[in-house]
Structure 1
């Protein structure tokens, strides 16, 4: 385990990459000299008519890809090993044993309206995530901040409430895009490679290259269009027909079809991303621990991996940490399919009658089919699941984290600490199972802030055990998600998040 002490940005980049070595090597790279020009079209799911250009509201694959095209975060994630790279912050330095972090900002960065990006803009943007009423999925990240101070126009000093050796990685979260100080009307003014020319929520985003983008050698295509393609077949059709040059979150069962397409390269997004099922702990019937445990034993994970993901997945154990991650708690007993045990636990729970499972293609290309297969597995334990397919539009606002039992999907994060904090800490609005456990929160704090690396690792293992035994997440697998990339493109690098770690727009060019 790597010891993050007195860590500079350069040291951190290598360390973070090694700690999260859980991806596949890119199949498309930078073998040619980039060319300028052309109109890039991306098809991705997760769009809604309720979407807004306020980064604090971003919580779906569509808005994450939009964020990577229009906005800039302080830190970025790149490649199959989730290596940290400079974003608006060119460098960062830790002091006081992970309690204080200094970030040096790009002096040439500008917003799309021509204003320079200053320390004041960064402070305003970050602190807005903890304003009263904020539902940002970055709220728990910024709530750990004691204060942020400007040291001139291009440096900020962040003092945390407690040490966190992984804090820079947290600032790569796609909802932490920087906007101008004082912004109240969110029209898409960011400092990313492309600026908004048209946005119809739930339908389309159209952008043009921002000529004053602060990164040199990036943003090769003239325009980027992001199509809302919530239906899995729509994404397949878009890449198959040539309507889109990149299509993400494709159905694994279409791999054979995609491999046969002469105009498309098939790549796999691999990492800590997962689709699963949420049991909400703060409401009936899943405020019943015995019922939750029964459901965990009622799903055949190995069968799901083969029949839903075509074998392109790794076994899950109801924590967001895959078995090939460096921090994986191998000592936590793997939950396996056991209909008899599930039946006994279900009887002990006292629950009777069917359990409604609400899901949608918004929660993954195979979400509805996975739920249907879960119903088949559970029936052998005498547990009746009623699968209710919901429309993709509005799913993230009306169903996800709102109803007792529903489908979910999470993109990968660069560190275990980040996904555990955002998805399961008590203070996070994105805690989609309403899991609130003081012992878990305390373990997370040690896992991110203890000076000794081994102590941090053991605390992470404890947090995983607590979540496995007490949580409401059923995470059967970590899928290697197919993506289709047109052979007309070069420069595409697969990552642990969709569409080239959200940054394909600035990296690719037409050959």
Structure 2
């Protein structure tokens, strides 16, 4: 079934005043029938169609009432790293555990607008070179100790400096230091303007820890759940934090575990062994849609799976080779076949229409086997090997077929998913990668293409591009920002060693017993925000 079935009735019901919604929901819970409601509504002058929508909306709302207690089990497509250190997080498994255990200073809502979290208020000075954060009082860590300004300053400064191990170091490249103003106020001082800092602080790595924390098997956090059991690479169990500074979550506990195989993960959902699964195989979507008790959760996004040609080694060091492969991408076919049409066409750069900064003026690169053959012959390369794990395989096999027609031998080597990010990614000349959307185009580009970015996976180094990133962060002028983003997107499309045939919706599978899931587009299951808000239906 699909979640859109009751959207019209839910919206009609939502337009009622709060008191009437509560009264109607209580009446239905008490046994009020549809016929009885239509009779009363007709006497009040309401049309039958409107009354019917109201009744169905109220019944849907009643059915969505969250239950107190229970266990929510989530099967992840990857487990992530073997640490609870937020600065090292790199995948959905990490981001989800981090959201259960920690909080950020700010939280990104469904529109990706920064909202107060551990900081109850924040503001920048006129040129965005200094940001001030007023901290929420009464927040405690899992051991009962209060969160302080010292904890915040220590946590944020971990991402700064040449020696930091932070995966998100590049996002703090303009931050000189965090300092304590008083017990409830901290400041970030920047060496250059950054109008995106609040959005950056809402992303996955910038969690607040206890000052001096070193136990990253079970560090102290302020989040909605406490760690009850942690088996790195296998599973984690988190129990409700009854002393949470906001309303504690409804479930007694959540269990996170990884099932790398798509079919096995789908089976876990269909059999009831998991209430939620990430990264649903597009080929399985029709089956889930036609099965009672489970549903597809699809959110439009700028996320994508891509092919990486390392430009610091052959054959990707020859721009002709990279251009040849780009022209071999049959983008429409890739979107239809590998994603079931659930997404948008890509243009070899990460910013699509899901981003406010998307530039529509860039010419779409077309599938052109003749042009591809020309560039490949010019490169002198006649064959190459690409390594692919369990994701991206359909995309690569389609490219292999097109390459064969152009007289190029693209050899596909399937490799295990376990250990892929440590042994293959950014270590072999041709491989695949996968990215979730980020809250702003500058953040996305900074992580994946900045000259000094740790995750600059094709090793495309362009100093002009790095300067454009800085200029964009320094201005709030919309016209100027549009010009800067157009040039950046054009540079990546033309020169970077990254092939992006399409962007995908975030497509997950959930039990119809689940309620409270958000539509944040930054990652699986509502941008990995679900631990605090999801519950089982009553």
1:63 Cα deviation (Å)?
Answer: 1.0
Aligned partner of 1:317 in structure 2 is 347
Structure 1: 5+ residue runs without aligned partners?
A: 1-27
The Cα RMSD (Å) is 1.8
Aligned partner of 1:45 in structure 2 is 77
1:213-252 residue CA offsets vs partner (Å, 9 max, x unmatched): 2223x41111010111122112211111111111111111
- Which SS does the other structure have where 1:459 is aligned? helix
**What is the aligned counterpart of 2:329 among 299, 307, 313?**
299
Q: Where in structure 2 are the equivalents of 1:38-437 lying within 5 Å?
A: 38-48=70-80, 51-79=82-110, 81-188=111-218, 189-216=220-247, 218-352=248-382, 354-361=383-390, 364=391, 367-437=392-462
- Which SS does the other structure have where 1:388 is aligned? strand
Q: Where is the helix percentage greater, Structure 1 or Structure 2?
A: 2
Higher relative contact order (CA 8 A, sep 6+): 1
Quick one: distance in 1 between partners of 2:113 and 2:293? 30
- Do the aligned partners of 2:160 and 2:175 also contact (CA within 8 Å) in 1? no
Aligned partner of 1:498 in structure 2 is 524
1:134/1:279 CA distance change after superposition, 3 Å: farther
The answer to which of 250-259 and 129-138 deviates more is: 129-138
Structure 2: 5+ residue runs without aligned partners?
A: 1-59
- Which SS does the other structure have where 2:171 is aligned? helix
1:131 Cα deviation (Å)?
Answer: 4.7
Aligned partner of 2:511 in structure 1 is 486
1:241-278 residue CA offsets vs partner (Å, 9 max, x unmatched): 11111111111111101101211121103211111111
- Do the aligned partners of 1:29 and 1:490 also contact (CA within 8 Å) in 2? no
1:200 Cα deviation (Å)?
Answer: 1.3
Whichever of the two has the greater Rg, that structure is 2
- Which SS does the other structure have where 1:436 is aligned? coil
1:116/1:162 CA distance change after superposition, 3 Å: same
1:46-96 residue CA offsets vs partner (Å, 9 max, x unmatched): 225x521111111111111111111211222232x3333222222211113
**What is the aligned counterpart of 1:463 among 480, 488, 512?**
488
- Do the aligned partners of 1:30 and 1:490 also contact (CA within 8 Å) in 2? no
1:134/1:232 CA distance change after superposition, 3 Å: farther
Aligned partner of 1:450 in structure 2 is 475
1:133/1:406 CA distance change after superposition, 3 Å: farther
The answer to which of 134-143 and 228-237 deviates more is: 134-143
1:326 Cα deviation (Å)?
Answer: 2.8
- Do the aligned partners of 1:299 and 1:378 also contact (CA within 8 Å) in 2? no
1:136/1:270 CA distance change after superposition, 3 Å: farther
- Which SS does the other structure have where 1:273 is aligned? strand
- Which SS does the other structure have where 2:417 is aligned? coil
Quick one: distance in 2 between partners of 1:463 and 1:83? 23
1:398/1:153 CA distance change after superposition, 3 Å: farther
Quick one: distance in 2 between partners of 1:43 and 1:446? 41
Quick one: distance in 1 between partners of 2:334 and 2:210? 46
Quick one: distance in 2 between partners of 1:182 and 1:29? 46
Quick one: distance in 2 between partners of 1:30 and 1:280? 54
- Do the aligned partners of 1:245 and 1:485 also contact (CA within 8 Å) in 2? yes
The answer to which of 238-247 and 381-390 deviates more is: 381-390
1:238/1:32 CA distance change after superposition, 3 Å: closer
1:133/1:391 CA distance change after superposition, 3 Å: farther
- Which SS does the other structure have where 2:97 is aligned? helix
- Which SS does the other structure have where 1:308 is aligned? helix
Quick one: distance in 2 between partners of 1:171 and 1:254? 35
Quick one: distance in 2 between partners of 1:399 and 1:306? 27
1:477 Cα deviation (Å)?
Answer: 0.8
Aligned partner of 1:8 in structure 2 is none
Quick one: distance in 2 between partners of 1:415 and 1:29? 34
- Do the aligned partners of 2:304 and 2:504 also contact (CA within 8 Å) in 1? yes
- Do the aligned partners of 1:123 and 1:148 also contact (CA within 8 Å) in 2? yes
1:78-117 residue CA offsets vs partner (Å, 9 max, x unmatched): 32x3333222222211113211111122212222222222
- Do the aligned partners of 1:29 and 1:491 also contact (CA within 8 Å) in 2? no
Q: Is 1:510 equivalent to 2:536 in the alignment? A: yes
1:307-336 residue CA offsets vs partner (Å, 9 max, x unmatched): 111111101111111135332122221111
- Which SS does the other structure have where 2:121 is aligned? strand
- Do the aligned partners of 2:302 and 2:353 also contact (CA within 8 Å) in 1? no
- The TM-score, its normalising length taken from structure 1, stands at 0.89
- Do the aligned partners of 2:448 and 2:457 also contact (CA within 8 Å) in 1? yes
1:452 Cα deviation (Å)?
Answer: 2.0
1:360/1:59 CA distance change after superposition, 3 Å: same
- Which SS does the other structure have where 2:158 is aligned? helix
Q: Is 1:440 equivalent to 2:465 in the alignment? A: yes
**Matched residue pairs, number?**
476
- Do the aligned partners of 1:136 and 1:430 also contact (CA within 8 Å) in 2? no
1:133/1:219 CA distance change after superposition, 3 Å: same
- Do the aligned partners of 2:302 and 2:505 also contact (CA within 8 Å) in 1? no
- The TM-score, its normalising length taken from structure 2, stands at 0.85
